[in-house]
A and B are shown apart, each in its own frame.
Chain A
């Protein structure tokens, strides 16, 4: 149980284009999902908290207009990187908090998405 998927696993795009990354909880409902960014050999940096049916909460320093987050249902959150530039190249990871069952204080992570902007 508590499986989280991400799609795509790897995406390459041209500078100036937008890219959408999906995060799905496959076997549980998640009222809260989180988006992280990770550089090679570094820790995870929280970008934003996504709550179903409401606006995302962004961490300080994260551009909300560049990283659009939508949490349309209890099983799906999307991160759109708008007008991507090479400096946005990174590994993006989502996690989901299980609403009922299991430990509600535990985050379950997706496998991550590698974004390369040329």
Chain B
């Protein structure tokens, strides 16, 4: 089983500032995917960003970017120019490629953006 660790239970950031969420994972697999999902107060899970392990280039989606360090098994998420709508719980998730497509989630990090 894969283990996904998010060591920051809560983070607070001022509007327009940048915040970085950490995520580490433990796996013996070489082919896999990593995801960041956002769960706002509505509790709707929203895909933020997706990274394929065989791609060295870090994924970006507008103000969201990741720092993927495969050797270190690290997958951090950077939120730039934070907005009030970014307030949510963020989950890091791991999926083994070509498997049963199950997701292993981290415990989550609650991000609060202050006005």
**Cβ-defined partner of A95 (8 Å) among B42, B45, B97, B106:** B45
A106 within 8 Å of B by Cβ?
A: yes
Contact A44 B43 (CB under 8 A): no
**Bound CA span A97–B101, Å:** 8
Give the complex CA separation of A107 and B93 in angstroms: 11
Interface residues of B in 56-106 (CB under 8 A from A): 89, 91, 95, 97, 100-103, 105-106
Main secondary structure of the interface of A (DSSP, over half): strand
Interface size class of chain A, counting residues whose CB lies under 8 Å from the partner chain: 20 to 34
Which of A20-28, A66-74, A108-116 has 4 or more CB atoms under 8 Å from chain B?
A108-116
* Total count of chain B residues near the partner, CB < 8 A: 23
Chain B residues with CB below 8 A from A44, complex form: 45, 91, 103, 105
Q: Is the CB of A111 within 8 A of B91?
A: no
Most central of B42, B46, B89, B105 by chain A CB within 10 Å: B105
Q: Is the CB of A43 within 8 A of B91?
A: yes
* B1-49 at interface with A (beta carbon < 8 Å): 33, 35, 37, 42-47
* Residues of A43-94 contacting chain B, CB below 8 A: 43-44, 46, 49, 57, 91, 93
B residues sitting closer than 8 Å to A (CB atoms) are 33, 35, 37, 42-47, 50, 89, 91, 95, 97, 100-103, 105-108, 110
